[in-house]
Amino acid sequence: MIRNEKDVFGNYIMKEESSRVKRRDFLKISASTVATLSLVGGATSIFYGCSKGPRDADFDTVIKGGIVYDGTLNEPFFGDVGIVDDKIVTIGEIAGTARRTIDATGCIVTPGFIDVHTHCDLTFKRLGFKRNLAYVLPSFKGNYNYICQGVTTVVTGNCGFGYTDIDHWLGLVDRVGFGTNVYHLVPHGIIRDELFGENQPRELTKDQMSAMKKKVAETMEMGAVGMSTGLEYAPGFYSTTEELIDLCKVVRQYGGIFTTHMRDESGKIYENGEFGVVESIREAVRIGEEAEIPVEISHLKATAPLNDVRAENILREIEVGREKGLDITADQYPYAAGSTDLTILLPNEFKSIDGIKDEFKTKEGRGEIRKAINEVFAYLGPDKTLITMMHEGNEDFEGKTLLDIAKLEGKDPADIYVELVCDIKPPVGVFFGQSMDIVRDLMPNDYVITISDGWTVPKGMSKPHPRLYGTFPKKIRQFVLDEKILNLKSAIRSMTSIPAEKFGLKGRGKIEVGAFADLIVMDVEKVQDHATYLDPHQYPDGILYSMVNGVLAVDNSKATGDRGGRGLRRG
């Protein structure tokens, strides 16, 4: 059924009624199947991947005649890539037989992209029992929104959130038969929450610090690749710099790294005359230096209020750390809008790990929230926040700005905001509070890694940020081919070998003999992202083949349903 509807700018658009999956409908899908899966132990009755069978050829797959970009700054070359089981065994001119030959003539062959900043784990964790739907929904278990843009490996546990029991999480990845490889970080904020609950201390006692260190060590021993923080979120913002230094010293003992969503990513001017984002980078540098640990700055950007902050202010602080010998890098998504819980707009005093503190849900407390958000609206108006996912309440608000909703409801935008954040679980929004000029200026630096800051999303569910579907193709199309901000070799390197080396992902990120067969074949001239803020569930063009551990997950631009992903551990 086709129907007309207006977008948030008042333009009529055509939509297929069946293309939008309401969450209430999504969560009703095959309830009996979910129950059955639970009874039989989930994936114990579900098989994935391709059975190779007896060896009847020299290779399982040969990718023939492509231009090989090996993930480094080496010059690309014409060559074939031979794969047996899950490994690359030959690179060059191949004359042997293969069970499957992929003609890559006119295309480029690259390592599978590695996204080191995702929240794919939160899709599972926050759905609770309903995560069992992953066993039956192809786009969910296949991680299609990633695999179709060429991402073969993701890192989870970012921003201080995620599973603290890595064995449980990676076991779930393997039972589902997930579409991509998964590595995991120790989520600092969730460890704090599990240990201290609602009574979050700022200065930890000796016993409290010992408990934190013990939990971090236990998680690192399970194979985490490092520890993440979310210092703009509760309970992360309670942490002192000294606490983080001490915990990072534990992480260092296991060869891990420190990744940080910093305390302040904005151009807010502090009393000392410095920008908030600059002060936050200085804290990250200090932690790295004193703990003697590699540092990764998550989703590097400048957010509103921007004032006069420039990319050079941000980059200078990173380069100061690098000049001192600190292994400090950053990652970035190629968009000028971010996405997270709606509560991010409020000062820390209002926030709890679940949304808003109960004390601010009273009549008086709501008045304080209203006052605070009106101050924000002075530099980031209600037309600059788009609701993307309603956990509670009216799902028809998805795809509308706070200003749109206020007009529909006949209310003040501040009152709408108060109502939304005081729900049991506040909605997720997209915030148009960045400068594309700053995005462009940060991008070409050789220590900036490409990431999405997205999550696994079942096809058609909610209206997520387009970065969930388009990050990697968008960077190649817009910023490499069209605007020529950086060259193709550098862009691919930022998506492959640099993240693999920084996070210690052995055997991945390069095309070389002995590496795992995580590969993509791309018609670079046809690469194009299609996901938009109002219509995000659109796969890109140009990613013709995606292979994960030798399993062909995308064949001639279509997801096959075969899944080669694995739950992986440091080392």
Token pair 């936050």 is found at: 280
Furthest CA-CA distance within the chain: 77
Mean pLDDT of 458-479: 96
Q: Are 12 and 5 in contact (CB under 8 A)?
A: yes
Q: What would the DSSP string read from start to end of 466-530?
A: THHHHHHHHIIIIIIIIS-SS-HHHHHHHHTHHHHHHHT-TT-SS--TTSB--EEEE-GGG-B--
- Kindly state the average pLDDT of the residues 441-464: 96
> Which tokens belong to 418?
């108060």
100-156 per-position pLDDT tens digit: 999 999 999 999 999 999 999 999 998 877 778 889 999 999 999 999 999 999 999
pLDDT interval class at 21 (50, 70, 90): low
In the prediction, which pLDDT does 28 show? 52
Percent of the chain at pLDDT above 70? 90
Res 31: pLDDT: 44
Mean pLDDT of 216-242: 98
Q: How far apart are the first and last CA of the chain?
A: 52
pLDDT at 44: 32
Torsion-angle region of residue 123: left (phi > 0), alpha (psi -120 to 50) or beta? Answer: alpha
Q: Has residue 13 got a pLDDT over 70?
A: no
Please give the single-letter amino acid code of residue 195: L
Q: Which amino acid is present at 34?
A: V
Average per-residue pLDDT for the chain: 91
> 156-189 pLDDT, tens per residue?
999 999 999 999 999 999 999 999 999 999 999 9
User: Does 404 or 57 have the greater pLDDT score?
Assistant: 404
For the segment 283-288, the average pLDDT, to the nearest whole number, is 98
Which has the minimum average pLDDT: 28-42, 110-124, 429-443? Answer: 28-42
Q: Find out whether 553 and 179 touch, Cβ atoms under 8 Å.
A: yes
Question: Which of 525, 566, 535 lies closest to 548 in space, CA to CA?
Answer: 566
Structure token pair of residue 490 = 């550098």
Asked if 420 contacts 385 with a C-beta cutoff of 8 angstroms, the reply is: no
- Per-residue pLDDT at 545: 98
10 has a pLDDT exceeding 90: no
Percent over 90 (pLDDT), the chain: 86
How far apart are alpha carbons 328 and 260 in whole angstroms?
Answer: 11
**pLDDT-derived band of residue 488, with 50, 70 and 90 as boundaries?**
very high
The DSSP 8-state label assigned to residue 461 in this structure reads B
For the domain covering 113-337+433-559, report its CATH number.
3.20.20.140
What are the DSSP calls for 145-186, one per residue?
Answer: HHHTTTEEEEEE-GGG-S-S-HHHHHHHHHHHT-SSEEEE-E
Q: Which of 258-272, 391-405, 557-571 has the lowest mean pLDDT?
A: 391-405
| pLDDT band at residue 394 under the 50/70/90 scheme | confident
Task: Give the C-alpha separation, 390 to 399, whole Å.
Answer: 10
Order of strands across the sheet with 328-332?
186-187, 226-230, 257-261, 295-297, 328-332, 448-450
pLDDT value at 8 more than 50 = no
Q: Indicate the burial class of 297 (C-beta count within 10 angstroms; 0-12, 13-18, 19 or more).
A: buried
CATH 3.20.20.140 location in the chain: 113-337+433-559
According to the 3-state scheme, what is the secondary structure of 239-280? CCHHHHHHHHHHHHHCCCEEEEECCCCECCECCCCCEHHHHH
Inter-CA distances, 351 with 231, 260, 270, 301, 343, Å: 12, 19, 21, 22, 7
Q: How far apart are CA 381 and CA 404, in angstroms?
A: 12
Question: What pLDDT, in 10s, does the model give residues 289-310?
Answer: 999 999 999 999 999 999 999 9
Buried residues in 161-186 as b, exposed as e (16+ CB within 10 A): bbbbebeebbebbebbbbbbbbbbbb
d(CA 530, CA 524): 15
Burial class (CB in 10 A: 0-12, 13-18, 19+), 47: exposed
Q: Rounded to an integer, what is the distance from CA 422 to the centroid of its chain?
A: 26
- Nearby residues of 13 by Cβ (< 8 Å), 6 or more positions away: 4, 5, 6, 7, 534, 535
At 16 the pLDDT is 30
Question: Using 50, 70 and 90 to split pLDDT, how confident is the model at 24?
Answer: low
Name beta bridge partners: 378: none
